[in-house]
Amino acid sequence: MKLTETQHKNIINYLIGEGLEYKEFIDEMTDHFIDSIEAKMGEGMSFFYALEETGNAFKNEIYYPFPLKLFPRIGLKAMEKRFYESKKREIDADLKVNFKTSFFSIPNVLVLCYIGLVHYFLREESSLQDIWLIYAWMLPSFLTFTYLRIAVKEPMDNVGGIGWLFASKQRRVRSVHLNLLMYVNGSKWLGWFNVLVIPLHYFRKYDYVPAYFYFYSMLFIITITLLVQVQAIKMIPKVNKLLGY
């Protein structure tokens, strides 16, 4: 028995109501639900009972995203988390391969030239060195994010942002591919480096660390951040293709 368009929408709403948030996984589970529900309805079961029965088949699924078995994901959320983590491992593998095979590509050479210029102009200790090193780290990140907003075909609001936080459940469905692109460009590295840069800045300010240690630590952080952002830019065509553009 073929499902109607309304029943199809009911399945999607059910999955979103279960807390699923990634379009690719929702699409995959929608196909599975349709096959299961059509089979059950063919045996005389009602649509909503078949929907509930199909959903209940995943209630025992469990996934622990954190060590020590903290904050487990249950049911469909557990399956989605496994799906997301598998995609993330693919992204991480691609990054490692790209770092090994294209380190001396033109974009990476430009990054090294930029680091050389930062070193040349800021190598002399001064009262402005600290803040200019932070600017040298932040400016390319803002430029990269601006470029991502232009080059990626899907609206960036589908990844996150203030509007996303206050959007409806249906509106908060987003792309796992876009989310992982932003994971590479932002939170994967900049989040951790924020944790390092802020105390490092104050350690330098109050002379807990020598000037040369702060200077070369910042150069290292700037270099790694930019090299990762180069990889994020290289991934844009692949992401656009996965999104169907």
For 82, the 3-state DSSP assignment is helix
Ramachandran region of residue 106, left (φ > 0), alpha (ψ -120 to 50) or beta? alpha
DSSP 75: T
**How do beta strands 62-63 and 73-74 pair?**
antiparallel
What is the model's pLDDT at position 28?
94
| Residue labelled with tokens 């990476």 | 108
Please report the pLDDT score of residue 196 as a whole number. Answer: 79
Neighbours of 96 (CB within 10 A): 11
- For the chain, the distance separating the N- and C-terminal CA atoms, rounded to the nearest angstrom, is 33
Q: 10 Å Cβ neighbour count for 19? A: 13
User: According to the model, what pLDDT value does residue 184 have?
Assistant: 79
Q: Which residues of the chain have pLDDT under 50?
A: none
pLDDT at 69: 74
Residues near 77 by beta carbon (within 8 Å), at least 6 away in sequence: 18, 19, 20, 63
pLDDT of residue 189: 61
pLDDT at 6 (0 to 100): 93
Residue with tokens 């995609």: 87
Question: What are 33-81's pLDDT values in tens digits?
Answer: 999 999 999 888 899 999 999 999 999 999 888 777 778 889 999 999 9
CB 199 within 8 A of CB 214: no
The pLDDT value given to residue 53? 92
Q: What is the pLDDT of residue 146?
A: 87
Q: What is residue 226's predicted lDDT score, i.e. its pLDDT?
A: 87
Q: Which two tokens stand for residue 45?
A: 């079961």
| pLDDT value of position 30 | 95
Residues 6+ positions from 224 with CB-CB distance below 8 Å:
189, 193
CA distance 244 to 238: 10
